[in-house]
Structure 1
């Protein structure tokens, strides 16, 4: 889910926006409003609150554009700003929802029955992954999302969460280890059930 735009594109838009260019502001808004909303939904439980916070973020940006510093990564700046707003609003409870993109690679034509079976198996795997992700502590869940779904670096996550970089790495490692343990235990349980039949 990483952005297809480069940091350089964002920097140029950010500079133009800071100088009062409405088109650059609109481009930044259109580029980030959905991804910020999606990120916010994972941190808070009320969709309407997230919508308001994202809109307020962009309104405040426009109103204070001349006082804003030059951002090394506008994308990072926006994510961090939204995260702060969510926690400041007191709505910083982690939401246990996770969104997926339903995409599949089908190199050969499958019969309708095979497609239905494959779709059901895929849905079952997604449901299992969702349950495993929901079992993670909030911080582990958040760092996985930021690292692997939003493609932030460890140092950016560290700054965003106001913890040191090694702590971010430790959280990612613990989360991945826990997911690995869960998948192994699920495989062993499945094998055991299969052998009992």
Structure 2
């Protein structure tokens, strides 16, 4: 028996035990694949927070669906597929789109043409920076004071001699404009396409 055959046999045994809700088998699978799935999710979504939530949800689903699982080969492709589909569903939801865009926005201040970045992500960052450049002067100033200098709403308000509520309103409008700009220019669509085409 080759090493590969033994690994497949071991996985099949783990899956049979998992079907019976064997906690030890689940723990072995979790310890083997959790970090890999996290790195895979981060590569797609560029957010550690969303990636962590995704890995948690994927393993909850694995446990809940265990009795009816029908995995004929290796468990890794199955887990990667579930992770990819989960992220696809997340990105298409309004709330997570906002979280994703906030993540993009927070990254733009450190943006460089790093060849290690994916083409899709760099394109999204570039479109984000274009949107920021098109903001009205005061809104752009408030946005950059918050983003680049890490100033609080009250600090910005004191600096510009305006109300805290005005600062908050301008920041909300800035993020909404950036989001709409990304959607209108296909940045989110490009990301979704890349996600759909991403190979295991």
**Could you tell me the TM-score, scaled by structure 2's length?**
0.45
Give the number of the structure whose alpha-carbon radius of gyration is greater: 2
